[in-house]
């Protein structure tokens, strides 16, 4: 068993950044944080004064490396997506299936199970974004695939037995008993692509909805006499909200308002990434349409936003530069808080003894220099 000491870094601990500790990594886990002079290790690694952060956790990854999960719902497709995002500091993720037919969903669930079983780096489970959504807030989803699940489909959608299942749905389109059934079967349920009233969203929360998918986007807005889904999300103290911080999906002022409204730790970063992340081509196929990123903005033929070309390292930088957040808080929004949302904070999301050594090293420009998954260095 080899012990590696990661030294000469500004380490994000539970108390904030510290430059007076080395991180000991042993057998894939963090063995301790110790003064550098007391780092008894088989191997030392000088990190040149960079920022050592917990690895990023992204719960909404539609694609990457030229692969869209809908088009390649296989373990190999998941692995290719993961490889594309690793270089941007993402060490754990949920491959995300956009609304599709039941047979594609079944293949995707089976692929996630297989990917976890064979140890594809970083995959935690699956995110089924739809097809139980509202046509009025469809975004780039194909409303022709929208439906209400029966018990057989609920069982299929929650069949992943070795990982996390996240389901995004419109609470006003799905019976409350079905939401309760999804939760009983172990799924995390989020509201998204919803045109629900405040009262309908509130009923969904009471039935077990835990969070909101890409807050503000594809949901009924907050207005003075109609709080809508956004109002319900901002008011609720217990739910989590994923946010896309790319300067396009949501105005920085709206994001700062959400930060002020929600308890600390209840907002976390997502990318909603599409295949162009980590790929040379700016285009891909979805539902037979060509989707293209122009100046970093991804839209379909009708002009609707169609996911993003965002990676997690850029999202963290944007939190610092667009929102004025301290790097420590931006990093927690990319690691600690999504881990808490997913219920995996007992094994990842912080740099602390006993947790998995999922780590990312940034330089002063907040660019990724190194990434580790389970203590194993990967190419950045």
Looking at residue 38, its pLDDT comes to 81
Looking at residue 350, its pLDDT comes to 98
Which residue reads 């497709």 in tokens? 77
Q: Which CATH number, 2.40.40.20, 2.30.40.10, 3.30.465.10, 3.20.20.150, labels domain 3-53+351-378?
A: 2.30.40.10
Dihedral (CA of 307, 371, 313, 166) sign: positive
Looking at residue 39, its pLDDT comes to 82
Give me the mean pLDDT over the 313-328 stretch: 98
Question: Given this chain, do its domains 3-53+351-378 and 55-342 carry the same CATH topology?
Answer: no
Listed residue (230, 327, 309) closest to 271, CA to CA: 309
Give me the mean pLDDT over the 295-322 stretch: 93
71 annotated to a ligand binding site: no
Looking at residue 302, its pLDDT comes to 84
> pLDDT per residue over 195-221, tens digit each?
999 999 999 999 999 999 999 999 999
Give me the mean pLDDT over the 276-282 stretch: 94
Domain residue spans of the chain: 3-53+351-378, 55-342
85 annotated to a ligand binding site: no
Pure H helices in the chain: 75-86, 102-117, 151-157, 176-184, 198-207, 228-235, 252-261, 312-321, 327-334, 336-342
44 annotated to a ligand binding site: no
Which residue reads 């807030």 in tokens? 137
214 annotated to a ligand binding site: yes
Looking at residue 226, its pLDDT comes to 98
307 annotated to a ligand binding site: yes
Residue 256 has pLDDT above 80, yes or no: yes
Catalytic residues: 272
- Please give the Cα distance from 23 to 149 (Å, whole number): 47
> pLDDT per residue over 81-116, tens digit each?
999 999 999 999 999 999 999 999 999 999 999 999
306 annotated to a ligand binding site: yes
Q: DSSP letter for 219, please.
A: B
On the CB side of 221, CA atoms within 13 Å amount to 5
Residue 380 has pLDDT above 70, yes or no: no
The DSSP code sequence of 27-82 is TTEEEEEE-GGG---SEEEE-TT-EEEEPEEEEEE-EETTEETTT--SHHHHHHHH
The pairing of strands 289-294 and 283-286 is antiparallel
Query: Are the CB atoms for 226 and 220 separated by under 8 Å?
Result: yes
Q: How large a percentage of the chain has pLDDT more than 90?
A: 93
> pLDDT per residue over 139-196, tens digit each?
999 999 999 999 999 999 999 999 999 999 999 999 999 999 999 999 999 999 999 9
CATH class of the domain at 55-342: alpha beta
The pTM (predicted TM-score) of the whole model is 0.97
The residue with greater pLDDT, 380 or 315, is 315
Residue 265 has pLDDT above 70, yes or no: yes
């Amino acid at each position: 068993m080899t012990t590696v000491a990661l030294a000469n870094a500004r380490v994000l601990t539970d108390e904030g950044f510290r430059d007076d500790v080395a991180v000991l990594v042993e057998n894939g886990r963090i063995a301790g944080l110790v003064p550098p002079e007391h780092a008894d290790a088989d191997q030392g690694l000088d990190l040149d004064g960079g920022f050592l952060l917990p690895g990023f956790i992204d719960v909404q990854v539609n694609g990457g490396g030229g692969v869209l999960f809908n088009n390649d719902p296989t373990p190999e497709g998941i692995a290719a997506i993961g490889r594309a995002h690793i270089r941007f500091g993402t060490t754990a993720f949920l491959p995300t299936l956009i609304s599709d037919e039941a047979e594609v969903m079944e293949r995707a669930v089976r692929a996630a199970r297989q990917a976890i079983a064979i140890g594809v780096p970083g995959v935690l489970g699956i995110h089924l974004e739809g097809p139980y959504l509202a046509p009025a807030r469809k975004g780039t989803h194909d409303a022709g695939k929208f439906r209400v699940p029966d018990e057989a489909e609920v069982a299929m959608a929650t069949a992943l037995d070795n990982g996390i299942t996240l389901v995004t749905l419109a609470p006003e389109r799905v019976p409350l008993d079905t939401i309760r059934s999804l939760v009983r079967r172990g799924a995390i349920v989020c509201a998204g692509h919803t045109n629900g009233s405040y009262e309908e969203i509130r009923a969904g929360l009471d039935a077990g909805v835990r969070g909101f998918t890409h807050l503000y986007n594809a949901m009924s807005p907050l207005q003075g006499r109609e709080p809508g889904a956004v109002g319900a999300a901002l008011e609720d103290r217990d739910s989590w909200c994923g946010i896309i911080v790319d300067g396009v999906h949501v105005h920085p002022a709206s994001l700062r308002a959400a930060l002020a409204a929600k308890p600390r730790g209840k907002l976390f970063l997502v990318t909603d990434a599409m295949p162009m992340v980590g790929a040379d081509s700016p285009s891909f196929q979805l539902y037979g349409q060509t989707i293209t990123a122009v100046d970093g903005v991804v839209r379909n033929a009708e002009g609707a936003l169609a996911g993003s070309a965002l990676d997690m390292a850029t999202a963290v930088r944007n939190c610092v530069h667009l929102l004025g957040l301290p790097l420590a808080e931006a990093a927690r929004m990319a690691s600690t808080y999504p881990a808490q949302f997913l219920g995996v904070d007992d094994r990842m999301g912080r740099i602390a003894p006993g947790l998995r050594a999922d780590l990312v090293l940034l330089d002063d420009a907040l660019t990724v220099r190194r990434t580790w998954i389970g203590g194993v260095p990967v190419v950045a």
